[in-house]
Structures are given as C-alpha cells and as structure tokens.
C-alpha cells in the first residue's frame, strides 16, 4: 500500500473504531514515558529526522506518535476555521478544589481503588477540566496540550453535528421524520434514501458498511491527498455517501457507523445553506464566549469532517459542555432551543442499543449522536476514541471535559478508569456543595 493510502487509512480507522474493535497493545509505554516532549517529537528547527512526524508517515496517528499528533492536525492537513467572532472570551470563574485529587473510586472490574489523581496518568490524559455550578474546580494539562492549544476531539465531533441537527429540528428547519432522499436527492438511490433523518441522527440506519471492509474506500474518498492516477472512486465524503448500499431494515438496531455523522453533516448543510463549520460558528461558537478559534479537518472540497474532524481548546470544550448543562443558555441568552438539549438528554431507544455489544455501557442509549447513560444523575456524554469526552451530569450540576491520547482507540479500554471516576467526583462535589453561582 502506498504511504498516502496507509496514512489516510490509519486516520479513518482511528476515527471510526467500533465498540468491538478493542485492540490490545502489548505493554505500551506509560503516560510519562510516552509524553511527546520526553519522546522528543518535532522539537527544534528542524526536528531530527527520526523525531519528525509527517502526515504522509504511515504511523503518524499510531501510539506513541499520536500523542503529538492530536495537538497538531492543523499543520498536517487542510482544515476549515470556526470563527469565534471578534469579542473577547467569556470568563470561566475559578473555584479550584485540590480535594478532587484524593477522590477515590473503584475502576470497573477492579478489586482495588484508585484516586482521581492516579487516573490522570492511567488515562493518558492531555487535559481535564471540571466545572461545578459553572465554576472551574479542576483544570490540568499534560502531554502535548497547553491551555491555549487545540486538540482533536475525534468522534465528539459527531455530537456537535448532532447538536446542530437537533437545533435545526427544534427550530422546524429540518424535519426529522422526513426521508433523507427527499432532502438530498443525490442520496435517493443510496442506503440513506429511505431512512429518516431521525434514523441517521440516532444511527439506527441499516447500512452495508463495515469499518473493516469499506474503510479503505471511505478513507480514500475523504482524504485531501492526491488520488492515484488510475483512481475512479468517490472523491469526497458526499460522493462516498452516494455509494452506500442498504443491508436490512432501518430503525431496527443501533449500529455505530461514522458515515451517519457525515450524512447528518450533509443534511445540515442542505437544509441550512451553511456547512457544519459555518453554522456552528454563527450559531454557537461566536456566542459562547470561546477563547480560541476552533477548526474542522476537511476533505478535498473543503467539507468539514462531521464524523471526527473537530479540534478545540480544553476550556472552550468546557464552555460547550456548560451550554449543554444550561439547556442551551449562555448567561441569560438562549442560543440553542431548550427542546434540542432535552431531546439529546432523553437519548435514543435503549432497546435498540442493548444488542450492540457495549458491555461497559449497560442500559445506555445513543440519540442525536450523543451517548446517554440513563443513570440516576441523568448523565450523558460526547465520546471520541483515545479518551475524548464531554461528560454532562445534570444532577450534580457538573461538566467534565477530557482530552487524551490513550494507546488504545476504543473507549472500552479507558472506561473502567473513567466512568466511575466521573461519578465519584460528582458525588464528592454534591457532598461538599457550596452555593450555586448565579448564571
């Protein structure tokens, strides 16, 4: 395989790895030993040849190199900006609580406990921030990430597309009962043609697409790199989607397939007249008081990768989580209809999720491209491979955002040292509760 194909393939594999694809890396380097600064990646002008990472390297997004790459997608591939407008950042009030580091929890399936502090390195965390009552109670960085740096959020991107989709639905601009083919005629003869918008948003479409067999074609279509001379396949995400065939009946099972997010991105663009990046900037990013301009990686025609291309600072990801927790409000301004957030919190159909094989996520569902725990806190999440997370806990009035570069892609690998930790911190904060901050 040519290097450029291999790298595109690697990228897509890691963007889209499914629940069942939990690969095991034999004794990977520790978080400390794999720290990109320790490894020496891309230091100096120029970096040493054996410390150089290029987009065309077949392993540019494989551990441990990925620990550098997650912070540097912009310099590796084309992308589109998400402007935050010309206003300054909205302050995130600080109320740091050193007590969090001592919070103990029992990892899933473990006999012994672990502290929040120990989980930081165990999860190869690049940055984690906890908001309680809208105040920063914990904020910590490592690896390639700095407070003003950007980091890939991988499939958290899908939840951003889902939020935009639910917003358009709540505003009556996108009919979630409509057939996709009625909105995008180019998709009429594809698997998506007779699926409803809702089925795409909840990933209950029946698609003849597997991350294994069809990945190469999908990756080639979305890659911004030149195609081989004899290439005749699809040359963009939109072209690829037109080739997808149906397998089974829509609406009968949840199946996590990235191409649903790309189809939703197309639905958003067609119904709003703006790309996912443009709509997100105009409706949300320029109105939540973001600190940094964010970006989406893009295919060769500038389509933002709705399935996994968003890159953002940790604090700004926290602002997005707080927007969810505040049911679409920023201060006194309702920037997203509360009905859109309510729909996301409500989740998808748990019965359709149950057979999808997520043993770490019993009782959960997936709806509007968000993961909903259905626990007694009403917690829900945006999740991306290698540990990217927005965790919203309405009962605890808490948001946790985490950016990470775990050696294994599928989150089933880090869920044991993550999910119970989130809950333990929520309970700690509720037990030590102060007065909520007016907002």
By the rule CB under 8 A, 261 interacts with its own copies = no
Residue 303 in contact with its own copies, rule: CB under 8 A? yes
Q: How far apart are CA 355 and CA 9, in angstroms?
A: 28
**Does position 236 bind its own copies by CB under 8 A?**
yes
What is the closest distance, in whole angstroms, from the C-beta atom of residue 302 to its own copies in the complex?
Answer: 4
Is there binding between residue 88 and its own copies (CB under 8 A)?
A: yes
Cβ–Cβ under 8 Å, residues 10 and 215? no
**Of residues 15, 41, 55, 305, which one binds its own copies by CB under 8 A?**
55
* Residue 232 engages its own copies in binding (rule: CB under 8 A): no
Q: Which stretch binds its own copies (CB under 8 A): 119-127, 203-211, 294-302, 330-338?
A: 294-302
Q: Is 10 in the site for its own copies (CB under 8 A)?
A: no
Cα radius of gyration (the chain): 21
- Which among 69-77, 356-364, 372-380, 426-434 is the span making contact with its own copies, rule CB under 8 A? 69-77
Query: How far apart, in whole angstroms, are the C-alpha atoms of residue 431 and residue 423?
Result: 12
Whether omega for the bond prior to residue 64 falls within 30 degrees of 0, making it cis, is yes
Does residue number 205 form part of the binding site for its own copies (CB under 8 A)?
no
Based on the shown chain and the rule CB under 8 A, indicate whether residue 87 belongs to the binding site for its own copies: yes
In the chain, DSSP finds a helix count (H) and a strand count (E) of: 15, 15
Q: How far is the CB of 51 from its own copies (least distance, A)?
A: 10
- CB-CB contact of 200 with 264 (8 Å): yes
Longest dimension (CA), the chain: 66
Among 30, 75, 102, 113, binds its own copies (CB under 8 A): 75
Q: Per CB under 8 A, does 378 bind its own copies?
A: no
Taking the complex as a whole, the smallest distance from the CB of residue 433 to its own copies amounts, in Å, to 30
> What's the full length of the chain, in residues?
439
Stretch that binds its own copies, among 151-159, 269-277, 332-340, 373-381 (CB under 8 A): 269-277
Give residues with Cβ within 8 angstroms of 404, minimum separation 6.
Answer: 123, 124, 125, 126, 386, 387, 388, 389, 414
Size of the site for its own copies (CB under 8 A): 48
Choosing from 78, 248, 357, 362, the residue that interacts with its own copies (CB under 8 A) is 78
Q: How far apart are CA 273 and CA 260, in angstroms?
A: 19
Sign of the four-CA dihedral 310, 315, 423, 123: positive
Rounded distance between C-alpha atoms, residue 57 and residue 132, angstroms: 42
CB 315 within 8 A of CB 138: no
**Binding-site ranges for its own copies (CB under 8 A):** 2-4, 42, 45-47, 52, 54-56, 72, 74-81, 83, 85-89, 148, 150, 224-227, 229, 236, 238-239, 266, 269-270, 275, 291-293, 298, 300-303
């Amino acid at each position: 395989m040519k290097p450029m194909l291999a790298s595109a393939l690697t990228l897509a594999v890691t963007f889209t790895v499914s629940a069942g694809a939990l690969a095991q890396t034999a004794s990977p380097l520790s978080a400390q030993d794999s720290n990109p600064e320790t490894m020496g990646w891309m230091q100096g002008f120029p970096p040493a040849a054996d410390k150089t990472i290029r987009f065309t390297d077949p392993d540019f997004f494989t551990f441990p190199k990925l620990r550098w790459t997650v912070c540097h997608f912009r310099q590796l591939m084309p992308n589109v900006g998400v402007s935050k407008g010309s206003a300054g950042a909205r302050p995130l009030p600080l109320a740091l609580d050193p007590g969090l580091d001592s919070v103990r929890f029992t990892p899933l399936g473990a006999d012994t406990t672990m502290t929040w502090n120990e989980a930081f390195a165990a999860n190869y965390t690049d940055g984690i921030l906890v908001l309680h009552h809208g105040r920063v109670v914990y904020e910590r960085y490592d690896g390639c990430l700095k407070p003003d740096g950007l980091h890939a959020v991988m499939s958290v991107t899908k939840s951003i597309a889902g939020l935009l989709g639910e917003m358009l639905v709540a505003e009556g601009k996108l009919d979630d009962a409509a057939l996709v083919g009625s909105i995008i005629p180019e998709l009429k003869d594809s698997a998506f043609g007779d699926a409803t918008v809702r089925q795409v948003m909840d990933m209950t479409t029946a698609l003849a697409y597997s991350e294994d067999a069809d990945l190469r074609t999908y990756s080639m279509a979305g890659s911004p790199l030149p195609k081989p001379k004899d290439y005749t396949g699809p040359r963009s995400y939109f072209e690829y989607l037109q080739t997808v065939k149906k397998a089974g009946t829509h609406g009968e099972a949840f199946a996590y397939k990235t191409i649903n997010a790309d189809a939703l991105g197309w639905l958003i663009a067609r119904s709003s007249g703006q790309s996912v990046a443009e709509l997100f900037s105009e409706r949300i990013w320029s109105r939540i008081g973001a600190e940094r301009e964010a970006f989406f990686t893009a295919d060769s025609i500038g389509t933002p990768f709705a399935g996994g291309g968003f890159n953002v600072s940790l604090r700004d990801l926290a602002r997005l989580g707080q927007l969810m927790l505040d049911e679409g409000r920023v201060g006194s301004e309702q920037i997203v209809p509360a009905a859109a957030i309510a729909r996301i919190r409500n989740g998808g159909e748990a019965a359709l999720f149950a057979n999808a094989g997520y043993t770490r996520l019993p009782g959960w569902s997936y709806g509007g491209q968000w993961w909903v725990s259905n626990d007694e806190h009403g917690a829900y999440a945006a999740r991306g491979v290698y540990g990217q997370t927005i965790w919203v806990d309405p009962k605890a009035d808490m948001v946790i955002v985490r950016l990470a570069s775990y050696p294994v892609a599928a989150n089933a690998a880090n869920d044991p040292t993550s999910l119970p930790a989130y809950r333990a911190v929520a309970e700690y904060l509720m037990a030590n509760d102060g007065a909520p901050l007016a907002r």
